[in-house]
Structure 1
Amino acid sequence: MWKPAPVGATGARLSGKAVLVAADPNLREEPAGLGNPELFRTCARFADDSKNDEGGEEAVLRATRITLCLLAHRIGQLTEQIQDLERRRARLAERHAPQLLTVVGTGPDAAVTLLITMGDNLERLHSEASFAALCGVSPVERSSGRRNYRRLNCGGDRQANAALHRIVQTRLRFDPRTQDYYERRIKEGKTRREIVRCLKRYAAREVFHLVRPVQTCSPS
């Protein structure tokens, strides 16, 4: 019997689907067409179902059912833990910087990431420019012939950089002001990458001015 190694929720989902792909056709067709939640609920019942037919079921098929059941239960446990952590993270963001959650594109995940980056390096943040450098979104000017451009800044906190990137991508999809800015810069000859870097810099400035007053007034 194949033994699943300890994995996270995503790894468990992939492992479960990999087992299904190689499973007996009859077993594979049973949960066919189900979405992920219903698929794993069905797999979680496989071990109980196999107990009623242990004498007539092939050993390999029974082992596959048990394996899928174990993976489904593991996915359920990890999903509950992830959801609990997300709720805790949202409460922390609402408690310490609720104004940050009102910004377009800033959810609890991005907010907490940026708060951690700012909180752990508060003494270094003399200005919003220093915060931008800390997040790796400060401009790095380069030129090639007659063309001036800004290249990727590979320094700074990459988690904070990724949080700002998610904020910008959300704004490009849903924020009319950001979409208008994007269209205007495209007409000026800027590439999408260059525009995204500019938007990340603006987002860092907005976050700094929203969070820094709260942090400096904190009793800690």
Structure 2
Amino acid sequence: MMRKLIILCLLLYSGASMAQLQFKSGKTGFATFLRDKMIYPGFSKDNCIQGTVNISFKLDEKGRVYSSKVSKGILSELDEEALRLIRMSSGKWQVPAGYDTTASVVVPVNFRLSGYNCEGKSSSDIQEAIRNYQAEEGLTNSVINFYKNIDQAKPGQEAQIIAIKNQLGIDDDYLRSRIDSGMKKIKQGDKQGACEDFLFVKYMGSKLADEFLLKYCK
């Protein structure tokens, strides 16, 4: 069965001038842009987590995104991917003369999976996966904070952190997958998103991404 990532979007505007706002590649350009650039986060894809992330953002007179935030989220990794896509759309918007740069544009990005055996997943299975992700996210943040402040670590503390990493399944294969994700973003021209992936690897106490940090994230 063919597996597809389906991304639907709709722009909601407020204000008369906003009705003339267009993506530079045409009416279907923004939906195509999302489809081509989106990297569906691994946990959400594996656990059939789908839904709508609403992003609110503002544009300057040259169509550059200068402010963006999640106004309705699902899970942090999906929220972050939606924000990344909006950040990448900066400069690709055509705004009319007299455009109100203080007005907000709301973009609902609807993440859908087709052909990933999601039809057999119950809503309770998905909600359980979301709860597990949120619980693990706190543990992941504790690992990040440890390695960010490793100079202040107490004797024996790293052994506890390594045990947490093992519990979370954060091994070299997983970290290499994060590096692969970063390299996809480099190819898309998203240096910031790539460096966030490489830094994640670093703050898991690994040197696997060091060469990429030196090359792309100076």
TM-score bucket of the superposed structures, by smaller chain: under 0.3
More helix by share: 1
Q: Determine which structure has more spread, i.e. the larger CA radius of gyration.
A: 1
TM-score by length of 1: 0.27
TM-score by length of 2: 0.27
